[in-house]
A and B are shown apart, each in its own frame.
Chain A
């Protein structure tokens, strides 16, 4: 089990049971588990959705869509069965939060799923874990089995006449399946390629039924919203950004790890106080604020930056999945860009032309460029390629690859130009920055 980190500034809501053995159902119940679900069972769907709306909880997968609103889009009456789907396909480089939730607090995911099911009138929930998390599937499966044993799942949950079931499913190892409609395709046993939208999942989702699909962290937050009350949860965060966020602090910091901080927490403070500063006392070169797909920020851009969806958006990047990657002054940005694009090239599903071909040519160009065989026009070509992917692809993966690339070229053009003079790479390399 990875070592848990801690800092006094943390507000432990989602992580409050971490390290306490809550994967065991009795411990989870002892710590107040499943009380929120029981309360929801008593209060009914409208009450749940109102609480969710009041909480200001926004989707933790990266897009930040208000959860209560999402649930309210599901039609009350449907000739087809409705479903709850938990997106545990945590694959964005720099992101490792859901992993800890599955490991330390699997029942909070189950409880959140039950509540979502009660809210929309679903009888079945799916918990989908990324292929690489197969070892966590055992923990999830045991938790589900225990919940059935206790009568928290199945026919007549908590002694009521309400039925709710949960099925766990592992992916086959594709980043693309983190996209909600691709995940549904995968879950249905098909090739993990996104669907055309509209229709949106709330109307036509899994197996054609109305479906709520939420990130695992979002779902794990749900029981806490209910327990605290929507308003109290909202009060923890910043304006229009309720609650806390699990930030995965990684890269060149002294104390990397997952920290639960209130929404809107200052990024500079996060790096220098929570994370203990740049490793080895080096200078900060840049920060990737929300997973590898978010545009890079310069030190001067994070001075007063509060980490919530709106403020980071205003700064020209995205809060994304909360994966904060710290880059010190000894890192070659071209190499970093290459490493980033290599990931997206590898993970592009290949469905649409701009992403399939664009990521491939970006990788090829950056590889050659970094190896010292670049020309001045390549810098423009790289930018041109990325620009022509932006907003043109079938799903957000193309943007996820283009956005950071554009950021690197725009903000570090000089470093690119330096590669033409100080061939092959004028910047010292970190041994731990491997390009795959």
Chain B
């Protein structure tokens, strides 16, 4: 809409016609208080805090419902308005309990802030306040009825935002209360969004309530460690006997690409890091075959000794390395570099949940066609193939719903099952579970409603679930590229599934999906890089079973936890494990290193859309170390010059790196040259993962960083991608045993190994199964 000019408090403002006055004022730095107004949700005009005076209008007007027009004149700060706001607060405080000293929201309560700012310090009333008992609606949500000021944010976020509609108003007048949908309890997705938006302490979190005061916590904004969407989560940590424990996770800092959103896992599922089952001491299997606590030095030496021996005797082919889709990019990069340059093996893989390599191949040369997650909130048309975002990618589902609500986006769904997002869909096409291979045929049909709808769309965002892989994926991408104006995203399962693949935790691919047999720039960078593809995870286990794999080094990987794992497959293999818990694999291990979770370390992760974010250390757990540090120490224990792995320090690399590595004779270090060219300082510690991030940026195509943006806590799309002229040489390069891609199908309350150790998620899962059973019985 065209811009209009209007006046607020004597200041000339300009905004598009129809902008809500409250938004225009806030943008211009003019304070307009409100309880019920919440950007993105429907308007209520109920709290009457945002009243302003409009010239030539009889009554005070609510700024939240006033659309600005040319020439209007407003006042937001007059004695009359101050009095109106004060009176409203006096009325609210009439029944609101003044239990601020023990209230969870004390210190971060909007009502407290407003009273502090607008007055109402005196009580006018002599009568008793209304009192009602507090209710527990679910393990996650408690409702203290007297504290509720009826702003209806919870009702709207649950209905409009989550499409769950579990909350409503009951009774009327001063007896009005918010009521849940199943008698006195909630049958919902337990996202806890209602708690986040509650301006007061009426809705409180089952995992946090009465545990601490907000100002006693250190609030750290980091990336959620559960699914592959990469929500920003604010962790509240407090010092504890064994470090700094996380007390709360919420969305206090709303600067992430998840905006207002956070799901049950992000909000309640952090407690696995505080589990009493966390490993906190290294362990080594003794001569008697028992796994016993050891010092870090003993454990590192035991692992280093074995690796060196096997490497010396049989070479890298007898060693296998498994990484994780839940560790950081720097750790993953370093792990594959360690495997390839120190252990001399391409036997490296990870728990693959999606076929990112095939996706990268199919889109070689089309880096600009890869979509960021942010686009799912604005794309005019979205084709969702497979997947169940509501359960597996809650932020994606939230964005798609928001997009439909705010921008009238058209959603097209192809799926083999019924999914909740169908409610927002323009067209739905069912397929048999194995029917995705016919996708292109469906899209080419003249009679299919979905195909007809898509044909009319100018632009399309294709969000591809794991159901589509291999040839079906390639065929679809080819069709879409031919159609034109299509952008792509591919859905994996874990916090860094995409990052693990991007960083080359693959037996046939280097970082950036570069084939090992055509290593390009890596040939010069990685001394001794083997150019024959290594073994996949399945291949390694098969080799181990045949007695051909002497060492398996599993960093955050749990192959023994897989369904098809043969119980004694690793009996002849020396197993080194880095993990948080005594997993099935750790129980078989010869050396176990206790590792830090994502919440206890710093590093970058890449969500499944390719948005890079910085995870920041929030908590501490005595005894554990980050995977990055363990790797560097292990290399050190093996006698490796760690500078060849982590480019740190100012002295630059020495040894033979003059002629053999430098581009020009006499040049000491290509990394130092790159750093200088980018105005960057070398990192000073080998344990600083950002030193490796520099190397990633230098070597991985597509990982171009805006450092200020990244370090400022923002997300940035990075798209590791292959060049246009790339031709996958499958015959030459395919691993002997093909990779298995196993989607985890985590729900809202499960999260692979972490979920098992999260009491909160376990409890919610059991509760929700019970609630559903109750509904079914009705």
Contacts and interface: CB of A to CB of B under 8 A. Distances in A.
Interface in A382-420: 384-385, 388, 391-394
A350 B150 contact: yes
Contacts of B95: 357, 360
Interface in A329-366: 345-354, 356-361, 364-365
B91 interface: yes
B125 A364 contact: yes
Q: Which 4 residue pairs of A and B lie closest in terms of their CB atoms, listed nearest first?
A: A388-B87, A350-B176, A360-B174, A357-B91
Nearest to A381: B124
A384 B169 contact: no
A221 B94 CA distance: 46
Contact of B174 (A196, A345, A385, A394): A345
Given A352-B45, A388-B84, 12 more contacts: A196-B43, A349-B173, A350-B150, A353-B91, A354-B48, A359-B173, A360-B174, A365-B126, A365-B127, A385-B124, A388-B88, A388-B91
Interface in A235-292: none
Given A345-B173, A347-B173, A361-B91, A352 B47 contact: yes
B92 interface: yes
Interface in B164-187: 168-169, 171-176
Contacts of A326: none
Nearest to B91: A357
Most chain A CB within a 10 A radius of its CB, from B60, B83, B84, B173: B173
A191 interface: yes
Contacts of A347: 173
Contacts of A348: 172-174
B46 A352 contact: yes
A143 to B, nearest CB: 32
B126 A350 contact: no
Contacts of A349: 172-173
A274 B92 CA distance: 47
A174 interface: yes
A141 to B, nearest CB: 28
Given A388-B83, A392-B88, A350 B175 contact: yes
Interface in B41-87: 43-48, 51, 58-60, 65, 83-84, 87
B529 interface: no
A393 B61 CA distance: 10
A234 B753 CA distance: 82
B401 to A, nearest CB: 21
A384 B176 CA distance: 24
A133 B356 CA distance: 68
B154 interface: no
21 contacts: A191-B169, A345-B173, A350-B176, A351-B44, A352-B47, A353-B48, A353-B88, A356-B174, A357-B94, A358-B91, A359-B173, A360-B94, A361-B124, A365-B127, A381-B124, A388-B88, A391-B59, A392-B51, A392-B59, A392-B87, A394-B45
A123 interface: no
A384 B83 CA distance: 11
Given A353-B91, A361-B94, A392-B84, A368 B127 contact: yes
A239 B59 CA distance: 28
Contacts of A388: 83-84, 87-88, 90-91
B149 interface: yes
A347 B175 CA distance: 11
A218 B316 CA distance: 94
B149 A353 contact: yes
B48 A393 contact: yes
Contact of A392 (B60, B124, B127, B171): B60
Contacts of A353: 46-48, 88, 91-92, 149-150
Interface residues of A, number: 32
B149 to A, nearest CB: 7
Nearest to B67: A198
Given A174-B172, A356-B173, A357-B92, A391 B43 contact: no
Interface of B: 43-48, 51, 58-60, 65, 83-84, 87-88, 90-92, 94-95, 124-127, 149-150, 168-169, 171-176
Nearest to A347: B173
A346 to B, nearest CB: 7
A368 B94 CA distance: 16
Nearest to A350: B176
B304 to A, nearest CB: 68
Nearest to B84: A392
Contacts of B175: 350
A392 B48 contact: yes
Contacts of A345: 173-174
A351 B46 contact: yes
Nearest to B92: A353
Contacts of B60: 391-392
A385 B91 CA distance: 9
Nearest to A399: B59
Contacts of A354: 48, 87-88, 91
Contacts of A393: 48
Interface in A166-217: 174, 176, 191, 196
B65 A196 contact: yes
B269 to A, nearest CB: 35
Nearest to A388: B87
B34 to A, nearest CB: 12
B76 to A, nearest CB: 15
Given A350-B150, A365-B127, A360 B59 contact: no
A356 B44 CA distance: 15
A196 B91 contact: no
Nearest to B127: A364
A70 B525 CA distance: 81
Contacts of B127: 361, 364-365, 368
B338 to A, nearest CB: 62
Contacts of B168: 191
B174 A350 contact: yes
Given A196-B43, A353-B88, A388-B87, A346 B173 contact: yes
B25 to A, nearest CB: 18
Contacts of B45: 196, 352, 394
Nearest to B42: A196
Contacts of A191: 168-169
B88 A350 contact: no
Contacts of A384: 87, 124
Contacts of B171: 350
Contacts of B44: 196, 351
Given A196-B65, A391-B60, A392-B84, A357 B174 contact: yes
Contacts of B125: 361, 364-365
Most chain A CB within a 10 A radius of its CB, from B44, B59, B124, B172: B172
Contacts of A391: 58-60
Contacts of B150: 350, 353, 356
A204 to B, nearest CB: 14
Nearest to A174: B172
B466 to A, nearest CB: 41
B94 A350 contact: no
Contacts of A359: 173-174
A381 B150 CA distance: 24
A381 B92 CA distance: 16
A345 B130 CA distance: 14
Nearest to B126: A368
A100 B46 CA distance: 36
Contacts of B172: 174, 176, 348-350
Contacts of A351: 44, 46
A228 B92 CA distance: 54
A392 B47 CA distance: 10
Most chain B CB within a 10 A radius of its CB, from A346, A359, A361, A365: A361
A393 B173 CA distance: 13
A346 B176 CA distance: 11
A405 to B, nearest CB: 15
A181 B213 CA distance: 44
A45 B678 CA distance: 77
A349 B44 CA distance: 14
